[in-house]
Chain A
Amino acid sequence: MKVRIALSLVALLLATALLAPWIAPFDPGETDLVHRLLPPSAGHWLGTDHLGRDLLSRLIWGTRASLGAVAVILALVLSAGTALGCAAGLLGGVVDTVLMRLADAFMTVPTLVLALFFIGALGTGMTNVVIAIALSHWAWYARLVRGLTLSLRAADHVAAARVAGASRLDIARRHVLPAVGGQLAVLASLDLGHWMLHVAGLSFLGLGIAPPGAEWGIMINDARPFFRVAPMLIVLPGAAILLTVVAFNLLGDAARDRLDPALAGHAH
């Protein structure tokens, strides 16, 4: 039941993101100063914002920006976490020590503060927001992958493969990655909502997409001066964020219930 709701919500969001150019009734950046702050009508289903842009179209395009950002964060965190965690676990020695101390160091700073710092070092913009969030979250994944790799390395079938002459790369590819994949998928699905909230928060602070772009966080920021006259300009983009995070969290819960009850205490 939970799985079905989660999957249909995520599918709906993905479809909206992919089909944005075709289903959005207006150009999300098209301003029309004569028709500013309109209430919902037949022409503009959800009304218009302070520059006369169609709210529905901007919400639809915002799906694309938000899901895109989360997808890239997911890819970056998973690949960095897997590569570094595997390297630490399989190579051991100095590599292990250096990588894990580095991971510990990244984990000593609050994630949002660390992300803010990286944006300061790299510059603002959505790309850098995504990189900053990935940089502040890879360490948890590297630690998990390393732990799993170490326990696998001691397993009989891996020892047998090593005795049979398999290289470390072979072992990583054939024995470690497939076994680690399921656990990583669960952990990642639990974090998707958390990343989404980070993206929205940093974008709300004005560090993400530059003003004409449509993204939910910056839409809320843009609408602040008109909060009392047109609260829907803030309520609806926020509801879109909430819906997306709910979808991700449902997906995460379902994945955890199904695959790994042991991860139930995950910190985020």
Chain B
Amino acid sequence: MLAFALRRVLTLLPLLLIVSLIFFLMLRLGRGDPAMDYLRLSQVPPTDATLALARHELGLDRPLPAQYLSWLAGAVRLDFGLSWTTRRPVLEDILRFLPATLQLAGAAMLLVVGLGVPLGVLAALKRDRWPDHLTRVFVFLGVSVPNFWLGFLLVLLFSVQLGWLPAMGRDGPASLLLPAIATATMSACVTLRLMRGAVLGVLGERHVVFARARGLPERVVTGRHILRNALIPPLTSIGLHVGELLGGAMVVEMVFGWPGLGRYALLAISNRDFPALQGFVLVMTAVFVACNLVVDLAYAWLDPRIRLGERGA
């Protein structure tokens, strides 16, 4: 198991290196002159002298490979430099906003797993009966609804009409519920659909038929023989949904005034604050990759074929 984990990490490293190169090059070769943006944000009028000074200060006068290496050396130590807008270390800023985003995405993930998986199993076991039909309609709408708009509808119903839950801000568990539902709905619906399909697939397999034939109680057949096998495909997709949830959370944050990374990223985009933008995208990628690693390990544990099969590859 440890060897499997190590192999996974080793295959990720070159990928992350390429990602960092893309992030670096896109901003350096993108549009405009970073030194101009830097001066604008520092409120220094751009003249030849100040521009030259800014270029030197930012290291833009050095060859590209050298710039990349020194930036990478910093990024590896989580040093993304100073934000051009706030003048504070980017990491410090990000760490201030990241917990709120992670809390929202995490709560959404709980809903995805806590609702998507059991309801998917239910829909499969009650195939073509009313729970199946009901979830099918719900899933169809759920995968099509814009998350931020769903957020507004939830506020309209639960805050404005009923007055049950707060419409804005981050103040205790009650304030987390509506944004988490808005963020989770699409992924929960996709997971439900996948789970249903996986259970239906396993139901017909011979080992399940055999377990039934041996007279095992239905509880054991469902728990040990159906669920454990059926969990693998939805689990794989849950790793991908971490990305959807992180991205979705940042959009939903704007509806609820949730103090997360979304606003920080938007400010970095509109100000063209390069260090902030690079720090943001690297940290989000790291979170996504780390979550996927955990998911990979979880399904290697569930499915020995994956754990052992990789040894030859």
Q: Which residues of A contact B19 (CB under 8 A)?
A: 105, 108-109
Q: Which residues of B contact A111 (CB under 8 A)?
A: 243-244, 247
**Cβ A110 vs Cβ B246 within 8 A:** yes
Q: Which residues of A contact B23 (CB under 8 A)?
A: 117
0/1 interface trace, chain A 170-209, chain B, CB 8 Å (1 if under)? 0000000000000000000000010001001100111100
Q: Which residues of B contact A193 (CB under 8 A)?
A: 143-144
Q: Which residues of A contact B250 (CB under 8 A)?
A: 112-113, 116
A121 CB-CB contact with B under 8 Å? yes
Partner of A205 from the list B145, B155, B254 (CB cut-off 8 Å) is: B254
Q: Which residues of B contact A231 (CB under 8 A)?
A: 152, 156, 160
Residue of A117, A238, A249 most packed against chain B (CB within 10 A): A117
Cα separation A241 to B144 with both chains bound (whole Å): 9
A235 CB-CB contact with B under 8 Å? yes
Smallest CB gap from A112: residue in B: B247
Stretch from B60-68, B83-91, B111-119, B265-273 contacting the other chain: B265-273
Partner of A264 from the list B197, B270, B277 (CB cut-off 8 Å) is: B197
Cα separation A79 to B74 with both chains bound (whole Å): 37
Q: Which residues of B contact A200 (CB under 8 A)?
A: 146, 148-149
0/1 interface trace, chain A 218-257, chain B, CB 8 Å (1 if under)? 0010000001100100110110011001100100000000
B237 CB-CB contact with A under 8 Å? yes
Chain B binding surface SS class? helix
Given contacts A116-B265, A238-B153, contact A265 B146 (CB under 8 A): no
- The smallest C-beta distance from A148 to any residue of chain B, in angstroms, reads 21
**Cβ A120 vs Cβ B268 within 8 A:** yes
Q: Which residues of A contact B186 (CB under 8 A)?
A: 197
Smallest CB gap from A117: residue in B: B281
Interface size of B in residues (CB-CB distance below 8 Å): 56
**Cβ A121 vs Cβ B26 within 8 A:** yes
Q: Which residues of B contact A245 (CB under 8 A)?
A: 144-146
B179 CB-CB contact with A under 8 Å? no
**Cβ B266 vs Cβ A205 within 8 A:** yes
0/1 interface trace, chain B 121-154, chain A, CB 8 Å (1 if under)? 0000000000000000000110111111100110
A124 CB-CB contact with B under 8 Å? yes
Cα separation A114 to B242 with both chains bound (whole Å): 14
Partner of B26 from the list A118, A207, A267 (CB cut-off 8 Å) is: A118
- Tally of contacts, chain A with chain B, CB under 8 A: 150
**Cβ B18 vs Cβ A105 within 8 A:** yes
B217 CB-CB contact with A under 8 Å? no
B248 CB-CB contact with A under 8 Å? yes
**Cβ B146 vs Cβ A197 within 8 A:** yes
A102 CB-CB contact with B under 8 Å? yes
B72 CB-CB contact with A under 8 Å? no
Cα separation A207 to B265 with both chains bound (whole Å): 12
Q: Which residues of A contact B155 (CB under 8 A)?
A: 227
- The smallest C-beta distance from B67 to any residue of chain A, in angstroms, reads 16
Smallest CB gap from B266: residue in A: A205
B75 CB-CB contact with A under 8 Å? no
Cα separation A118 to B280 with both chains bound (whole Å): 12
Cα separation A16 to B18 with both chains bound (whole Å): 43
Stretch from B2-10, B220-228, B284-292 contacting the other chain: B284-292
Given contacts A101-B14, A249-B144, contact A109 B281 (CB under 8 A): yes
**Cβ B144 vs Cβ A235 within 8 A:** no
Cα separation A268 to B194 with both chains bound (whole Å): 11
A122 CB-CB contact with B under 8 Å? yes
**Cβ B31 vs Cβ A238 within 8 A:** no
**Cβ A123 vs Cβ B144 within 8 A:** no
B259 CB-CB contact with A under 8 Å? no
- The smallest C-beta distance from A58 to any residue of chain B, in angstroms, reads 16
**Cβ A124 vs Cβ B269 within 8 A:** yes
Residue of B18, B149, B190 most packed against chain A (CB within 10 A): B149
Cα separation A121 to B99 with both chains bound (whole Å): 25
Q: Which residues of B contact A242 (CB under 8 A)?
A: 141, 144-146, 149
Q: Which residues of B contact A265 (CB under 8 A)?
A: 194, 197, 233
0/1 interface trace, chain B 22-66, chain A, CB 8 Å (1 if under)? 110011001100000000000000000000000000000000000
Given pairs A204-B251, A205-B254, A231-B152, 4 additional interface contacts (CB within 8 A): A101-B15, A197-B186, A235-B152, A249-B144
Q: Taking beta carbons and an 8 Å cutoff, which residues of A are in contact with B?
A: 101-102, 104-106, 108-114, 116-124, 193, 197, 200-201, 204-207, 217, 220, 227-228, 231, 234-235, 237-238, 241-242, 245-246, 249, 264-265, 267-268
- 24 A-B pairs in the complex with CB atoms less than 8 angstroms apart: A101-B18, A108-B289, A109-B19, A111-B247, A112-B247, A113-B243, A116-B281, A120-B272, A122-B31, A204-B251, A207-B266, A220-B148, A227-B155, A227-B156, A231-B152, A238-B152, A241-B149, A242-B145, A242-B149, A245-B145, A264-B197, A265-B194, A265-B233, A268-B190
Closest 3 A-B residue pairs measured CB to CB?
A112-B247, A110-B243, A238-B149
